[in-house]
Amino acid sequence: MELVTDVGVRVYPVGRLDMDSEGLLLFTNDGGFANIIMHPSFNKQKTYEVKAQGDAEKAAALLRAPIEIDGYTVKAVSIEIINKTEEGGTLLITISEGRNRQIRKMCGKCGLIVKSLKRISIGDIKLGSLESGCWRYLTNKEVESVGKGHFTCN
């Protein structure tokens, strides 16, 4: 919250990232907007860049199938290996829900040790080159992409 004290209005975080993760966080003063982002019924996809140790190819195949975590069955929307090394690799993992530490737990079940995890998009909103600790306003197009018929910008 200390990162957005200069916004000029009181805003609240939309969702969360665990303490060991980084990346895109949204803040708003609009409860409807927050609900559309967070509620699973709206199916807002979140993409993460995951640097991990272990067999990335084998894990990617396992991550494409349903996995049980904490009594729930979860499944990645998409998995892409963007870099492979002898120690592991970097994967792009897209999910449509956001259970507690879901990506880390999914990777653990598939034999990967997560070294870093960064959320790079929520729906059509991309982190891009925004530096850590910085913020920007969403464009009207980004806000409209979240609402898709639920609300529009002025």
pLDDT per position as a tens digit, 12-22: 988 888 899 99
Residue 57 resides in a domain: yes
Residue 18, domain member (yes or no): yes
Query: Which residue range forms the structural domain that includes residue 28?
Result: 2-147
SS3 of the chain: helix, strand, coil, percent, to 5: 25, 30, 45
Q: Is residue 114 part of a domain?
A: yes
What is the domain count for the chain? 1
* pTM higher than 0.85: yes
Q: How far is CA 91 from CA 18, 96, 102, in A?
A: 19, 16, 15
The active-site residue out of 6, 18, 20, 55 is: 18
Q: How far is Cα of residue 110 from the mean position of the Cα atoms in its chain?
A: 19
| 153 falls within a domain | no
**Number of neighbouring beta carbons within 10 Å of residue 3:** 12
User: 29-59: per-residue pLDDT in tens?
Assistant: 998 889 888 888 888 899 999 999 999 999 9
* CATH code: domain of residue 59: 3.30.2350.10
In a domain, 154, yes or no: no
Q: Is residue 10 part of a domain?
A: yes
Is residue 42 included in any domain, yes or no?
Answer: yes
User: How far apart are alpha carbons 104 and 112 in whole angstroms?
Assistant: 9
Report residue 154's pLDDT band, with 50, 70 and 90 as the boundaries.
very low
Q: What pLDDT digit, counting tens, does each position of 64-89 carry? A: 999 999 999 999 999 999 999 999 99
CA dihedral (75, 81, 86, 88) positive or negative: negative
Our answer to whether residue 30 is catalytic in this structure is no
